[in-house]
Amino acid sequence: MFKVLFAKEILENFATRRFLMVCLLCLIVIPLGVYVGTRDYQLRLNAYQESVRIYEEDHKSVQDILDKGGAKGFRPPSALGFLSQGLDIVLPNLAESPARREKAPVDLRLNNSQSFENLYASFQGPLDLVFIVSVIMTFLAVVFSFGAVSGEKEQGTLRQILCNAVPRHRIILAKMTANSLALVIPFLAALILGLLIFFANRFSLSGPDNVLAAIGLVLVLSLLVIGVFFNLGLLVSALTRQAVSSFIILLLCWVFLFGVYPRLSVVFSELIYPVKSQQLVLLERNQIRMENEKALSAAIDKIVESSDNTQEKQDEVTMEFRAALTDKLQKLDRDLENRRNIQMRIAVNFSRLSPVSCFVRPVAEISRTGWMQYLQFNQDVVRFRSVLNEQVFGKYYEFEAQKGGISTGFKGDTSAPTPTFQSTRIRTQDVFKNILPDAVALVAFNILLFAATFVAFLKYDVR
């Protein structure tokens, strides 16, 4: 009996204009999104490689760092950006030391030179797989499921089926299987076509250590989030009497889960755990610098008035104040970073009540365009800064020349190779551990919604 019911549902779904429109939409939008994403990656990759080439040509030795604008470290683009742009457009992609001769300790400044090629894209956002799945596919899941039960009740076909003493659990299983296949098959076909476009370009730089595993994780999460909205549609359809009522309720649920609640989680996190704005932090940094300069001037004046007034003593005091200033600024940055991390975790935990949030952020992490990439880049910058202070700026000093004035010197080999910035790849295992709670939440959503649908349909009144 299940085969008969399944064949009936397959024919009703596959032999419709709705299925044809879904196929055309998927086969156009998904490969197009992959192509646009890979083209954007190629442009960013060319810009990255050209920046690195120019820097390496101009900075072949330590002397060049001291004379030609300091040291720089570049963050490579992610090859899986077509899956999710994530935070990539706002993440820093450059760390640079001061563009003048400095004595250690020297801090590195983070910059972002990225932007959309077309400014109008700033309003609409990218056409990546996250947008396609979280918006288009979840809405199509609602379209495919809103009339699965209530629609057949209005047509009278559901009563005819039950008159033949068909077990209800077989009916709902047949509907779930057939309707989901009608949605998943076009999606998978279009995704395979898009992946062929991706692999045809042989993109590997800055990608994860296992591209297939990363793409497999994204595919699983995509099917899970589509399944959540599909099961939600079945549940609402099994709780309503009319297809129109079912569609209106589902549309409101979709708008809330996709557009409203994820943004509310951000508001909740800001109210519960506020973080200083960037402008306020800049004011505090300037205040710390001004106070340090005043204290340094007062200390120098005391040395000048004392009998121990030598250039070496002034340099020693200056270095102490410079080190203290750097420590205070770094402590301020660490405190800000810690508070941002806590606020981010609060927002993530709140947002997990929405299946869309359980999909969007994990895919960004898998694509190496999420918060984990930001934290990893900061760690790489800290290591690079330590190397520069140890091998370059820590060996630079000033002294009083015999003919008057201040001259400079270097206690190391100025012809030594320039220290290079090392960008660390995030392991797929670490990403999996990070997104595991989101995947578990999506699985739980599917199980709970289908169980509720099953119970609701067993009690459904077809009269």
359 shares its domain with 284 = no
Kindly state whether residues 400 and 286 are assigned to the same domain.
no
Q: Are residues 342 and 374 located together in one domain of the fold?
A: no
In three-state form (DSSP H/G/I as H, E/B as E, the rest C), the secondary structure along the chain is CHHHHHHHHHHHHHCCHHHHHHHHHHHHHHHHHHHHHHHHHHHHHHHHHHHHHHHHHHCCEHHHHHHCCCCEEECCCCCCCCCCCCCCCCCCCEEECCCCCCCCCCCCEEECCCCCCCCCHHHHCCCCHHHHHHHHHHHHHHHHHCCCCHHHHHHCHHHHHHCCCCCHHHHHHHHHHHHHHHHHHHHHHHHHHHHHHHHHCCCCCCCCCCHHHHHHHHHHHHHHHHHHHHHHHHHHHHHCCCHHHHHHHHHHHHHHHHHHHHHHHHHHHHHHCCCCCHHHHHHHHHHHHHHHHHHHHHHHHHHHHCCCCCHHHHHHHHHHHHHHHHHHHHHHHHHHHHHHHHHHHHHHHHHCCCCCHHHHHHHHHHCCCCHHHHHHHHHHHHHHHHHHHHHCHHHEEEEECCCCCEEEEECCCCCCECCCCCCCCCCHHHHHHHHHHHHHHHHHHHHHHHHHHHHHHHCCCCC
Number of domain units in the chain: 2
Do both 59 and 32 map to the same domain?
A: yes
In a domain, 188, yes or no: yes
Domain match, 53 and 104 both: yes
Domain extent, residue 46, equals: 2-272+352-458
Are both 70 and 139 inside the same structural domain?
yes
Same domain flag for 134 and 114: yes
**Residue 81 sits in the same domain as residue 229:** yes
In tens digits, the chain (463 residues) has pLDDT values of 667 777 777 777 777 888 899 899 999 999 999 998 888 888 888 889 998 998 888 888 888 887 777 888 999 888 888 899 888 888 888 888 876 666 666 778 888 877 666 666 666 778 889 999 999 999 999 988 888 788 777 777 777 776 777 777 788 888 888 888 889 999 999 999 988 888 887 654 445 567 888 889 999 999 999 999 999 999 998 888 888 899 999 999 999 998 899 999 999 998 999 888 878 888 888 898 898 888 888 888 887 777 767 777 777 788 788 788 888 888 888 888 889 889 989 999 999 999 999 999 999 999 999 999 988 998 899 899 888 888 887 776 554 444 444 455 667 777 788 888 888 888 888 999 999 999 999 999 999 999 999 888 888 766 6
What's the pTM? 0.85
